């Protein structure tokens, strides 16, 4: 199908602008700007598990503390991007997991939670990055969680269970993709894999530059295939990396995004890149306010960089969204909420880092001091300190009390409420219609409300890769 035939009805979009007022006129002017440009590159950006409250709090922090709007909402304020909502339900539930969510975009079909591009009856749907690679584009993914995790994998592979990350690493080696970077060394390192297979050696043999730290990543030459796996599991939370100085050796999401674009931008047939802030979701699961806020702000810095690139390039479609909500955090009305929220400027560490460092024999004073020094000068009572001590002594777990599943995240977040006035709905995914934004050629065809499984065909068609759309 020809692009002009598929979008022939969209030629009428600009006709109503005269009657819709100044704002609509401006919006349609933006649409006209891209109407005759080619969608050569696509950068698909996902803040995993981002509820609307997360987006709002990052913008409020940016305005109050940094003195400027966030890049994402600032682009809305400037009428730079098209804006809409997306229904992210899976095949089996109105509340999706990340595997089914990414698969809906990656394979163009809703699948059961936990599956990666495998339907309820075993149907296999060809992932979108495989299609773009066949069409001659360079492709890649970067993330702050293991590169084998659900969201990048949903754009790349077919597998029944998202948990088989060692197998996903093997599948990646067969795809000849151009850039794959994140955490997850335990799925590549022979010392950690059960089968003792050296996946680093496999990728090296296939011509990849393999990087295990920031300096090795930066040595990769443009157009060279690049595998970057920088930590055993996930990358550090942004707030921890800044305080500990690990950002000197371990790249952050902005570093990964910049390098990925640099590796692929000169390709004559263009590129497709997925960028994921995966630990926004992890922080929401832990009701970990500092981790959530500063990882969202890091994602926003990537939005800023990507939009700058797209403006200069002129042929890049930017898609910015989330795969689902998580925990629905937000600032709650009450006396002093403004200055209480401003306490965030003094935060040094995530709750995850704080709780991982509490000994089972810690004293009340040690806990009070640890929280005061690292959680925005928060003062807890002796009674609260006793509650935390009791939690560590009472938990019995074969996989260890320092497994994040067993740490007292919810207990600590409730104590922090009076210090930051941030409330939480739960510790799990929610059924939010997710925020959807687009900039660049192709964005003029975006609907203001989409089903998640419509995104697959949309991306293929605006990039004129219709011939591969056989899933």
Q: What is the pLDDT of residue 392?
A: 87
Residue 303 and residue 397 in one domain: no
Residue 309 and residue 371 in one domain: no
**Residue 198 marked in a binding site:** no
- Tell me the mean pLDDT in the region 349-361: 94
Token digits of residue 303 = 């939005």
CA–CA gap between residue 470 and residue 188 (Å, rounded): 32
State how far the alpha carbon of 336 is from the alpha carbons of 19, 24, 238, in Å.
Answer: 44, 38, 27
Torsion on CA atoms 109, 139, 72, 437, rounded to nearest 10 = -30
Residue 396 has pLDDT above 90, yes or no: no
Would 18 be classed as within a structural domain?
no
CA–CA gap between residue 347 and residue 344 (Å, rounded): 5
Weakest-pLDDT range from 119-128, 147-156, 460-469: 460-469
Q: What is the pLDDT of residue 35?
A: 76
**Residue 151 marked in a binding site:** yes
Pairing of strands 429-430, 226-229: unpaired
**CA nearest neighbour of 143 among 59, 245, 45:** 45
- Tell me the mean pLDDT in the region 229-256: 96
Token digits of residue 396 = 């019995």
**Residue 288 marked in a binding site:** no
8 A C-beta contact, residue 278 and residue 251: no
**Full DSSP string of 358-381:** --TT--HHHHHHHHHHHBTS----
- Tell me the mean pLDDT in the region 412-437: 96
Token digits of residue 320 = 């910015």
Residue 79 CB partners (closer than 8 Å, separation 6+): 23, 26, 27, 30
Residue 49 and residue 195 in one domain: yes
Q: What is the pLDDT of residue 391?
A: 87
DSSP letter for 140, please.
Answer: E
Q: How many residues appear in the chain?
A: 471
**Residue 276 marked in a binding site:** yes
Torsion on CA atoms 391, 397, 400, 404, rounded to nearest 10 = -60
Is 426 one of the catalytic residues? no
Angle between helices 382-394 and 409-420 (to 10 degrees): 160
Q: Which residue has the higher pLDDT, 122 or 400?
A: 122
Q: What is the pLDDT of residue 28?
A: 55
Look up the CATH number of the domain holding residue 245: 3.40.720.10
- Token pair 């690139």 is at which residue? 309
Segments forming the whole domain that contains residue 121: 37-327+433-468
Residue 22 has pLDDT above 60, yes or no: no
**Residue 295 marked in a binding site:** no
DSSP three-state, residue 272: strand
CA–CA gap between residue 194 and residue 216 (Å, rounded): 27
Would 288 be classed as within a structural domain?
yes
Q: Which residue has the higher pLDDT, 197 or 335?
A: 197
CA–CA gap between residue 434 and residue 457 (Å, rounded): 19
CB atoms within 10 A of CB 83: 15
**Residue 308 marked in a binding site:** no
**Residue 323 marked in a binding site:** yes
Q: How confident is the model at residue 10 (pLDDT cuts 50, 70, 90)?
A: very low
H helices present in 173-288, as ranges: 199-205, 214-218, 238-244, 253-264, 279-285
How many separate domains does the chain show?
2
Would 1 be classed as within a structural domain?
no
**Residue 109 marked in a binding site:** no
Model pTM? Answer: 0.92
- Tell me the mean pLDDT in the region 226-235: 97
Q: What is the pLDDT of residue 397?
A: 63
- Token pair 């920088």 is at which residue? 230
Residue 296 has pLDDT above 80, yes or no: yes
Residue 383 and residue 456 in one domain: no
10 Å CB burial of residue 95 (0-12, 13-18, 19+) is: middle
CB atoms within 10 A of CB 248: 11
CA–CA gap between residue 433 and residue 279 (Å, rounded): 20
Q: Is the dihedral of CA 156, 160, 162, 167 positive or negative?
A: negative
Q: Which of 51, 70, 98, 103 is catalytic?
A: 98
Residue 405 has pLDDT above 80, yes or no: no
Residue 333 has pLDDT above 50, yes or no: yes
Residue 449 and residue 384 in one domain: no
CA–CA gap between residue 140 and residue 157 (Å, rounded): 13
| Percent over 90 (pLDDT), the chain | 85
Q: How confident is the model at residue 393 (pLDDT cuts 50, 70, 90)?
A: confident
- Tell me the mean pLDDT in the region 406-416: 93
Question: Maximum CA pair distance of the chain?
Answer: 71
DSSP three-state, residue 406: coil
The strand ranges marked E within 88-204 are: 138-146, 179-183
Residue 359 and residue 237 in one domain: no
Token digits of residue 221 = 């030459």
Would 15 be classed as within a structural domain?
no
**Residue 285 marked in a binding site:** yes
Would 193 be classed as within a structural domain?
yes
Residue 291 and residue 267 in one domain: yes
Would 274 be classed as within a structural domain?
yes
Would 323 be classed as within a structural domain?
yes
Token digits of residue 319 = 């898609």
8 A C-beta contact, residue 385 and residue 367: yes
**CA nearest neighbour of 353 among 413, 278, 298, 291:** 291
DSSP letter for 159, please.
Answer: B
Would 55 be classed as within a structural domain?
yes
Task: State pLDDT tens for residues 303-320.
Answer: 999 999 999 999 999 999
Q: What is the pLDDT of residue 225?
A: 98
Phi and psi (nearest 5°) for 462? -65, -25
Residue 370 and residue 302 in one domain: no
Residue 175 and residue 318 in one domain: yes
Task: State pLDDT tens for residues 447-461.
Answer: 999 999 999 999 999
- Tell me the mean pLDDT in the region 325-350: 95
Q: How confident is the model at residue 406 (pLDDT cuts 50, 70, 90)?
A: confident
Q: What is the pLDDT of residue 36?
A: 78
Task: State pLDDT tens for residues 60-95.
Answer: 999 999 999 999 999 999 999 999 999 999 999 999
Q: Which residue has the higher pLDDT, 177 or 24?
A: 177
CA–CA gap between residue 69 and residue 210 (Å, rounded): 37
Residue 142 and residue 241 in one domain: yes
Residue 386 has pLDDT above 60, yes or no: yes
8 A C-beta contact, residue 48 and residue 322: yes
**Full DSSP string of 79-101:** T-SEEEEEE---SS-SS--HHHH
Q: What is the pLDDT of residue 399?
A: 60
Q: What is the pLDDT of residue 451?
A: 98
Q: What is the pLDDT of residue 398?
A: 59
The chain-wide mean pLDDT, for the chain, equals 92
**CA nearest neighbour of 46 among 85, 102, 87:** 102
Residue 163 and residue 216 in one domain: yes
Residue 323 and residue 335 in one domain: no
């Amino acid at each position: 199908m020809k692009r002009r035939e598929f979008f022939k009805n969209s030629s009428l979009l600009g006709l109503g602008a005269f009657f819709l007022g100044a704002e609509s006129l401006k919006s349609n002017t933006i649409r006209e700007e891209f109407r005759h440009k080619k969608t050569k590159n696509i950068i698909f950006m996902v803040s995993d598990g981002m509820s609307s409250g997360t987006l709002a709090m990052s913008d409020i922090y940016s305005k109050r503390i940094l003195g400027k709007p966030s890049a994402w909402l600032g682009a809305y304020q400037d009428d730079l991007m098209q804006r809409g909502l997306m229904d992210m339900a899976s095949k089996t539930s109105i509340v999706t997991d990340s595997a089914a969510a990414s698969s809906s975009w990656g394979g163009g079909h809703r699948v059961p939670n936990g599956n990666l591009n495998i339907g309820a009856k075993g149907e296999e749907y060809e992932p979108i990055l495989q299609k773009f690679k066949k069409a001659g584009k360079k492709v890649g993914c970067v993330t702050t969680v293991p590169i084998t995790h659900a969201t990048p994998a949903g754009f790349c592979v077919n597998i029944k269970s998202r948990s088989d990350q060692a197998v996903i690493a093997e599948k990646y080696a067969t795809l000849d993709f151009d850039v794959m970077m994140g955490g997850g060394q335990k799925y590549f390192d022979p010392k950690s894999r059960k089968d003792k297979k050296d996946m680093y050696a496999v990728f090296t043999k296939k011509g990849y530059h393999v990087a295990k730290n920031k300096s090795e990543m930066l040595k990769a030459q443009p157009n060279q295939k690049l595998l970057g796996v920088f930590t055993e599991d996930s990358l550090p939370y942004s707030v921890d990396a800044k305080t500990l100085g690990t950002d000197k050796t371990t790249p952050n999401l902005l570093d990964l995004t910049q390098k990925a674009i640099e590796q692929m931008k000169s390709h004559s047939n263009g590129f497709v890149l997925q960028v994921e802030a995966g630990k926004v979701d992890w922080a929401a699961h832990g009701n970990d306010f500092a981790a959530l806020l500063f990882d969202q702000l890091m994602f926003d810095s990537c939005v800023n960089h990507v939009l700058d690139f797209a403006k200069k390039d002129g042929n890049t479609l930017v898609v910015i969204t989330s795969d689902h909500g998580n925990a629905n955090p937000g600032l709650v009305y009450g006396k002093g909420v403004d200055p209480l929220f401003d306490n965030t400027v003094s935060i040094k560490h995530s709750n995850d880092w704080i709780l991982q460092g509490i000994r089972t024999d810690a004293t009340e004073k040690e806990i009070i001091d640890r929280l005061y020094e690292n959680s925005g000068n928060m003062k807890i009572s002796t009674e609260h300190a006793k509650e935390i001590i009791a939690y560590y002594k009472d938990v019995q777990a074969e996989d260890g009390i320092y497994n994040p599943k067993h740490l007292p995240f919810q207990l600590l977040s409730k104590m922090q409420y009076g210090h930051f006035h941030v409330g939480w709905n739960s510790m799990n995914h929610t059924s939010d219609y997710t925020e959807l934004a687009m900039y660049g050629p192709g964005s003029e065809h975006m609907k203001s409300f989409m089903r998640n499984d419509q995104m697959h065909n949309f991306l293929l068609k605006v990039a004129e890769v219709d011939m591969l759309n056989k899933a």
